[in-house]
Amino acid sequence: MTSGTRLLLIGPPGAGKGTQASRLASAFAVPAISTGDIFRDNVANQTELGLKVKSIMDAGEYVPDDITNAIVADRLREPDAKNGFLLDGYPRTPDQVAELDRVLAAEYEPLNAVVLIDADPEEVVARLLKRAAEQGRADDTEGVIRHRMSVYSAQTAPLIDLFEERGLLVRVDGLGSVDEVTERILNALAAAGVVA
């Protein structure tokens, strides 16, 4: 049996998930597992997986569920995830939810909470364009950003209701400084009985 804290972090592109994920992961002493980072590392290292997903990511589409699910299942089996984890950017589709449910039921205790970082679409487009100028991510051009937003709205936003029905959803406003948002998340989790 496993112990520790098991969290998901969801929210639109540009809501600040990556930044908050590393802070929450250290607060809870669990690994932050970001599917976006795993894919980007593979693209940078030109692995077989990287070559497969590069054009999909550059177009702002989701990587196919079978690929994404296999990567997360493998990563969760590594020893450091046995005592809890924070998944950033997964699951994003109903099929990914079903696969995560299967993996958790077989090998883990249930999730403690699903943190939604809420953000206004126009605000996050502006943030992403700023990040594009600073970091030059290939999927941060305005057209691709808008496409990623619409993919999120169509495929991932509907999952919010599901986690709400399961009583797991902790909703936090993503507008504000990084510190403010972290504090908001930790307070909201504590109010839901999830304490670091």
As annotated, the active-site residues are 17, 92, 131, 137, 148
Contact between 30 and 85 (Cβ < 8 Å): yes
Binding residues (CB under 6 A) for ligand ADP: these are 13-14, 17, 35-36, 39, 56-57, 60-63, 68, 89-90, 92, 96, 139, 148
Q: At closest approach, how far in Å is the CB of 190 from ligand ADP?
A: 25
Distance (Å, rounded) from C-alpha 148 to C-alpha 151? 5
Q: At closest approach, how far in Å is the CB of 171 from ligand ADP?
A: 17
Pick the closer one to ligand ADP by CB: 59 or 192: 59
Question: Token digits for 192?
Answer: 């839901």
Q: At closest approach, how far in Å is the CB of 70 from ligand ADP?
A: 12
Contact between 171 and 116 (Cβ < 8 Å): yes
Q: Is the peptide bond before 91 cis (omega within 30 degrees of 0)?
A: yes
* Residue appearing with tokens 């099929």: 95
Q: At closest approach, how far in Å is the CB of 84 from ligand ADP?
A: 19
CA separation (Å) from 107 to 32, 126, 131, 195?
18, 41, 38, 23
* Residue appearing with tokens 């495929």: 155
Pick the closer one to ligand ADP by CB: 139 or 163: 139
Pick the closer one to ligand ADP by CB: 85 or 90: 90
Pick the closer one to ligand ADP by CB: 64 or 195: 64
